[in-house]
Structure 1
Amino acid sequence: MRVESVNGRRVKYSTMLLLLVGSGLALLAATQTWFTITLTDTAEHSTTISVAGSVAAPALTALSLAGLALTAALAIAGPVFRIVLALLGLLLGVSVLISAISAVSDAVGASSSAITTATGVAGDSSIRRLVHSSAIELWPWVALVAGVVIILASAAVVVFSRLWPGPSRKYQTRFAGEDGRPADELFAADEEPTDDAEARAAAEAPPADAPDSATPTALDRDAAIDSWDDLTRGDDPTR
C-alpha cells in the first residue's frame, strides 16, 4: 500500500511537471521572434521587420497563462474535478497547436499587423505586395512542441488520475477518521454520553432534597444568637 502511494505521488508530480513545462515553453515562445519579414526595395520604411509570437499568435500568451493556472488547480483538485481540468488541458493544448500552425502556414498574414504598424500600409493584398520574403525562426516550432506536450500531459491526467493520491488535508473542510467516518459524526459520537456514563453521572449527583452543607440551618443560627447575647451580658457561653 505504501509503494502504491509513492508511485501515485510520483505519477502526479511527473504529470504536473510535464504540463508546467509545456505551458512555460508556450509562454516563452510567445515572447520571442517568430518571423523575419523582408520588404521590397520600394518600401519607404524599414526593409526588415521582426514579428514576435505575441503578434503572430495573439492568443498564445493567454493560453499559456491558462495552462499554468490549470497546473496549480490540479495540485488540489479532487478526482472528478481533476478529469474536468484534464479535458480543459486537452482543449488548451489543441488551441496552442492551432495558433502555432495557423501562424506558420501564413507568415505574412500573421505578420500583417506588424507590417501595418511599421509601414502604415493596410489591406491584405497591399501588404503582400510589400513583402519580398519571410523567414520562419525556431520559436514557432517550440510552440508546436509545447502544444503537443500539454496535450500529452492532459491525456496522462485522464489515464492515470486514479493513481494520484488525494488532495492534502489542509484543502479539505472535513476530515475523515481512521474508520472512514466524516468529522461531524466523530464529533457527535464524542459529545453523546454512553449509558454507563449517564448512570455514573446520576449516581454521583447529590439528591435534589439534600440540605446544602454550606448554608447554616435555622438551629445553628439560633445557637449563635444566644451565645452572642450571653457575651453581651458578661456570661461565659461555654459553661
Structure 2
Amino acid sequence: MIRRARLLSVVIVVLCGALGVISSTQTWLTVELQDAAHHVLDVPGASAVPVLAPLSLAVLALGAALSIVGTALRYVFGALAFFIGAVLAWLTARVVFEHPVSAVASVVTDSTGIAGEESVAGLVASISATAWPAVTLAVWALLIAAGAFVLATAHSWSRTGRRYRTDHAAKAEAAPTGGSAAHAGDGPRPHDAAGSRAIDDWDDLSRGEDPTA
C-alpha cells in the first residue's frame, strides 16, 4: 500500500502537468469580431491563461522530484501541488463560466493592433469555448486531490526504505559471522588428529619400536 501511494501520487502529478502543457497549446476559445468580415480568431490556452504553460511545467518537475525527495520535501511539494492546482483551477473556471474579454485580449490585439480591454471589448461580437477549458478544469481538480493525498500519506513513504536499510544492514553484519564460522571449520578436527596418531603408532610397531616410549 505504501509503494502504491508513492507511485499513484507521482503518476497523477506528472500526468496533470503533462495534460496542462498539452492543453496550453490547444484552442480554448473562439472569438468573433464585429467587423465587416466577422473574423473568427482562435485563442489557445496559453493566451487565455498566461500562467498555464509555466505552472504546468512546474507541476511536471514537482511530480518527477516527488519520487526521490525526503519526507520533509514531500510535504513541501504536496502543498505546492495543492496550491498550484487551486490557482489554476480558479483561473480556468473563470474561462469556463465567464468567457472574459481579458482571456482573448492578447489574441485580438495581435490581430487588430488595438489594445486596451475596453477597446477590445468593443470589437468582440461573441466568445465561445471549446471542450478544453472544462477538461483542464477537471485536471486541476485531480491535481488538488493528488496534493492532498501526498500530504496525507507522505509520512508513511519512508517506512519501506527504512525497513530495507535495516534488513540490508542485518544481512551485512551476519555475512562476516558466517564467513568466520566457515573458516573455523577449515581447521583440524579432534578425531582427525587422533587418527593420525594411531597411524604413527602402527608404523612404530612395524619397525619394531615401542610406541609408548
Query: What displacement does 1:37 show?
Result: 0.4
- Summarize the Cα distance change of 1:167–1:121 in structure 2 as closer, same or farther, 3 Å threshold: farther
Which residue of structure 2 aligns with residue 223 of structure 1?
none
**TM-score with structure 1 length normalisation?**
0.64
User: Within 2, Cα distance between the matches of 1:162 and 1:129?
Assistant: 55
- The one-letter code sitting in structure 2 at the alignment partner of 1:18 is I
Matched, 1:148 2:141: yes
**TM-score with structure 2 length normalisation?**
0.71
User: Within 1, Cα distance between the matches of 2:160 and 2:65?
Assistant: 11
- The one-letter code sitting in structure 2 at the alignment partner of 1:32 is Q
Query: What displacement does 1:167 show?
Result: 8.5
Which residue of structure 2 aligns with residue 76 of structure 1?
68
- The one-letter code sitting in structure 2 at the alignment partner of 1:73 is A
Which residue of structure 1 aligns with residue 10 of structure 2?
16
User: Within 2, Cα distance between the matches of 1:32 and 1:11?
Assistant: 32
Query: What displacement does 1:127 show?
Result: 1.3
User: Within 2, Cα distance between the matches of 1:114 and 1:149?
Assistant: 29
Which entry has the higher C-alpha Rg, 1 or 2?
Answer: 1
Contact 1:34 1:137 in 2 (8 A): yes
Aligned with 1:54: secondary structure?
helix
Aligned with 1:41: secondary structure?
coil
Match of 1:95 among 87, 97, 100: 87
After superposition, the CA RMSD in angstroms is 2.4
Query: What displacement does 1:16 show?
Result: 1.2
- Summarize the Cα distance change of 1:167–1:126 in structure 2 as closer, same or farther, 3 Å threshold: farther
1:10-159 equivalence runs, <5 A: 10-42=4-36, 47-104=39-96, 105-159=98-152
- The one-letter code sitting in structure 1 at the alignment partner of 2:101 is V
- Summarize the Cα distance change of 1:77–1:86 in structure 2 as closer, same or farther, 3 Å threshold: same
Query: What displacement does 1:150 show?
Result: 0.9
1:178-193 equivalence runs, <5 A: 178=169
Query: What displacement does 1:116 show?
Result: 0.9
Show structure 2 runs of 5+ residues with no match.
174-213
Query: What displacement does 1:108 show?
Result: 2.1
Structure having the higher helix fraction is 2
Contact 2:2 2:160 in 1 (8 A): no
User: Within 2, Cα distance between the matches of 1:22 and 1:70?
Assistant: 11
Contact 1:67 1:89 in 2 (8 A): yes
User: Within 1, Cα distance between the matches of 2:159 and 2:17?
Assistant: 24
